[in-house]
A and B are shown apart, each in its own frame.
Chain A
Amino acid sequence: MKPEQDYKWRDFERGYVITEPGSSREYHTGDWRSQRPIFDKERCIKCGVCWIFCPDCAIRFDAEGYAEMDLDYCKGCGICSRECLPGAITMVDEEG
């Protein structure tokens, strides 16, 4: 799909139907973030609580089973940091 700002009114499918499945991935909601999670691997116990609570499915696990934040989609809500049992996630302000 082309960038949204390039759409002219005649460009929509009838009824704004999106014919390409999964296109919402192209919208990087991580742009909304004002805080970012900083992850401390030393403290992580691989419990997966952050993964359960993340409302944006922006946490995945690396090959060793540690949490990993996908900053393309992390909106910086801080829920993972609030819920993390060993306190391995700290929220810090984004620059600028």
Chain B
Amino acid sequence: MGKRVGMEVSIAASEAVRLANVDVIAAYPITPQTHIVEHLSEFVNNGELDAEFVPVESEHSAMSVCSGSQAVGARSFTCTSSQGLILMSEIVYCTAAMRLPVIMVLANRSLSNPISIWNDHTDVMSIRDCGWIQYFAENGQDVFDHVLISYRVGEDRDVMLPVIVNMDGFSVSHVIEPVELVDQETVDKFLPPYKPDIVLDPAHPVTMGAIVLPSCYTEAKKAQDEAVKASMPTILKGWQEFGDLTGRYYHPIEEYRTEGAEVLLVTMGGIGETAMWAVDQMREKGRPVGLLKMRLWRPFPFEEFRKAASKARMLVVVDRAISYGGPGGPVASELRSALYNEPKRPLVANFIAGLASRDVAPFDFIEMVDRAEGACKKGMEPEYEIYGVRE
């Protein structure tokens, strides 16, 4: 089994990229992602990783380089945050539509303005519909494992899609955690070399990224939608096989103390671990509260979610982003939508919390459950609320 070490999570992410033996890294430094790209440049400089490191002039170029290198058959990696992500977003959409399985780690950070270098999910939610497979990691081990799993899943001939591994900036990316590394031999067993069937090659010219006319665009988008949906069995298989090798098994939705739960907290990302504490405290007092942690965001795990949510009376969904003037947080909106046609569905309360790294402590989760219960008793279906805002 692998070695268990104390390691900054950003460094663990770089270790996974090295173990995946990538061919090309193109990235531009931005807080809080910088440690990943710095560490990777050291690997390349020290000869510990045989890869091209392209120090690009912007994130737009970073994703352009990665898409180009992936198109010639080179395993590629980039990472970014916040403004960097939205600057590269034009190409992010192309990478998915062109079915180039680039892997990107996002150290999630708020979007400007006001300028904030701290953590929430407003950056990645701005590209929610980009067509990438999207995971949310909860801790360092998740991040390390999901870099490897992403290459395996993304490059599978049945998938061929890029993958985003989200981790919370600072609260996950910069903390030192125990991480069990996987040795090279095990990684090589799990992750075969990248061999796409169609590549850019002057000897066999093909066109990538061409125009289609209105007569074909609808069919093109249908094909893309089906491709993302069809990735689900390979994602599940990837987790299963990774679990068989390492003993760590992952699921689209991780359930915590959901037996007999009438109320379920729902989180995505690092705050899930804090929510576990809150659930323990409420359970000790005999309150039937459990927790659902969304690990897979795209493709959306409809079946698993409906199954997990069906027995609850109420969901208390904690969002880390807001849709201004819209239906609340993106996670709650999608969960509501997923439940709408169900014959029996729980109420969905939505709290937007933890913006720009504002602490969400165990007692905050308990307060949210209390508030949602209170509103429920008054017969009002709770709508969204920006939690903890000073009036």
Contacts and interface: CB of A to CB of B under 8 A. Distances in A.
Contacts of A4: 212-213, 215-216
Contacts of A7: 215-216, 219
A40 B184 CA distance: 74
B219 to A, nearest CB: 4
B213 A14 contact: no
Interface in B171-189: none
Contact of B207 (A5, A12, A18): A18
Nearest to B99: A15
B222 A15 contact: no
Nearest to B213: A4
Given A8-B219, A9-B223, A19-B198, A14 B99 contact: yes
A96 interface: no
Contact of B198 (A5, A14, A23): A14
B379 interface: no
B208 A17 contact: yes
B208 A15 contact: yes
B88 to A, nearest CB: 19
A30 to B, nearest CB: 15
B216 A13 contact: no
Contacts of A14: 99, 160, 198, 227
Contacts of B220: 9, 12, 16
B100 interface: yes
8 contacts: A4-B213, A5-B215, A7-B215, A10-B223, A14-B160, A15-B160, A16-B208, A21-B206
Given A4-B213, A15-B99, 16 more contacts: A4-B215, A7-B215, A7-B216, A7-B219, A9-B219, A12-B220, A14-B160, A16-B97, A16-B209, A16-B220, A16-B223, A17-B206, A17-B208, A18-B206, A23-B207, A24-B210
Interface of B: 97-100, 160, 198, 205-210, 212-213, 215-216, 219-220, 222-223, 226-227
